Structure 1
């Protein structure tokens, strides 16, 4: 498994992480098989959030974690900020959420803790106080955000003592807005719209690792594009490359993300061991420039 540094933290992580949003649907035995298979294939980075399964996903993970696995050999990340009907970045909620995640995960510390979605009522001074309290108490090692644009990060950085090392963003072949805007500079095409403050370039300039979520979905949780009749040209291109590299189409979809020089980490949410086994082969695939652009165009994009 290809490894990378998360931001400039010194924390070495695999290029592919396991998203545990659906782990609440598993039994303890099923979770143990999923976790063991993941670690066996070098995927020792597990992504959680306090809202996944209303906390149940974190509990099932802790129950299913094999006893022989040492805490220092895995990386646990969780997120906070989304509540029932509103977002909450208050100091009280951030600290309370982190402590409750620690309890559910049965661990003394989180390797990484993210702010889940931007809170319009965010007071960065409160966030800074919460992060410092969690860091100084040893409960959180590193911090990041999710679904934030460059100016929102810059505002936080004005007050934080700890660096933002990662930003989790939606990215896939059919949701490639992060990259499209840079390819249509100085045009009046829709793809030229800057909706995120050039977050891809900002992240590269500031050593922030992007984590790609929903690498196989189109729209906003609208369904999978792999094997979808709605994307015949894309699936034909995926199949051609899957045959060439002797991997699955899903592995090619992830390889497309990993090929980008920004060293983007990809989060896959499968709870099926054999599917993870097939997808992680993406780290062995090095697409050519022509193949990368070919996939991008097959997804419905056009070069100028």
Structure 2
């Protein structure tokens, strides 16, 4: 999301392309092969500079999984921000993404947010048509509950293979909802209970956006939880970023973290999350959770 300059309509620059190349190179060196974008990121410039990188490195396309999203329309003059998953809109957005990315196929297309106005049968027909044309290989969703996925899947023969949600040591509603059942605190938890279990049962990969918690536990002034993260990183010969990602990966739902940073040094700091199994004991995992929530578990 951070590639391509700013959240404006100013053209991207040669420096923006160089930044994208450096980020992709760092990710490849760290063993990362899946790259996640969206049509709205930096008003399309994120996809466009990634397309520049692919154009300059023709062999790269066959070595990576290219994932992008559609479904959000940003606010514009005389228009509010909205969600749009109408069939014709999906088709047009995919065509625009393919053009910006300079590729003839998207490996995985995610529906970025639910659109309450579009019938699931219309969405399913659009996805089926894109697949039939060979423009998109697989489909998934983002920011949807298990019930919403099931409702869409009932109209779609192709399997939905991904659900991307905000999940991190800081954004913990997804795990808190499991232990707040039968407590009054559950009423204040916005995560749709049972979504993790639904995805696991149906072979839908859970991807965690915001996985590094925006640096809350890996920088200065990171509090008790950050101190524990640093101590664990030292004892296990790794980085604080890896500990934060391991906390997600240690969960049996097989969560795949999405690393949002474009800084090569921070990307390199995530390397052990790719190359090593999560090295957190049962006790250490819970200590991180309790430290991050700042209160005992119920």
Q: Same fold (TM over 0.5)?
A: yes
**Residue of structure 1 in register with 2:73 after alignment:** 83
- Give the 5 Å matches for 1:57-72: 57-65=46-54, 66-72=56-62
- Give the 5 Å matches for 1:290-301: 290-300=283-293, 301=295
How many Å apart are 1:68 and its aligned residue?
A: 4.9
Q: 1:268 to 1:146 in 2, by over 3 A?
A: same
How many Å apart are 1:176 and its aligned residue?
A: 1.3
Hey, what's the Cα distance between the residues in 2 that align with 1:274 and 1:115? 31
How many Å apart are 1:35 and its aligned residue?
A: 1.1
Contact 1:181 1:192 in 2 (8 A): no
Instruction: Give SS of 1:226's match.
Output: coil
**Residue of structure 2 in register with 1:241 after alignment:** 232
How many Å apart are 1:121 and its aligned residue?
A: 0.9
**Residue of structure 2 in register with 1:213 after alignment:** 209
Provide Cα deviations, 1:92-121, integer angstroms capped at 9, x if missing partner.
001111111011000010110010011121
**Residue of structure 2 in register with 1:268 after alignment:** 259
Contact 1:178 1:198 in 2 (8 A): no
Is 2:33 aligned against 1:44?
yes
**Residue of structure 2 in register with 1:7 after alignment:** none
Match for residue 273 of structure 2 among 247, 261, 282? 282
Hey, what's the Cα distance between the residues in 2 that align with 1:50 and 1:295? 35
Instruction: Give SS of 2:199's match.
Output: helix
How many Å apart are 1:227 and its aligned residue?
A: 2.5
Hey, what's the Cα distance between the residues in 2 that align with 1:165 and 1:239? 35
RMSD: 1.8
Match for residue 145 of structure 2 among 133, 140, 149? 149
Q: 1:47 to 1:249 in 2, by over 3 A?
A: same
Contact 2:218 2:230 in 1 (8 A): no
Is 2:177 aligned against 1:181?
yes
Contact 1:182 1:192 in 2 (8 A): no
**Residue of structure 1 in register with 2:12 after alignment:** none
By relative contact order (CA 8 Å, sep 6+), the higher-ranking structure is 1
**Residue of structure 1 in register with 2:4 after alignment:** 24
Hey, what's the Cα distance between the residues in 2 that align with 1:140 and 1:56? 21
**Residue of structure 1 in register with 2:125 after alignment:** 129
Hey, what's the Cα distance between the residues in 1 that align with 2:211 and 2:22? 23
Hey, what's the Cα distance between the residues in 2 that align with 1:197 and 1:160? 24
Instruction: Give SS of 1:114's match.
Output: strand
Instruction: Give SS of 2:279's match.
Output: coil
How many Å apart are 1:43 and its aligned residue?
A: 0.6
Unmatched segments (≥5 aa) in structure 1: 1-20
Unmatched segments (≥5 aa) in structure 2: 6-14, 75-80
Hey, what's the Cα distance between the residues in 1 that align with 2:146 and 2:84? 20
Instruction: Give SS of 1:118's match.
Output: coil
**Residue of structure 2 in register with 1:232 after alignment:** 223
How many Å apart are 1:225 and its aligned residue?
A: 4.1
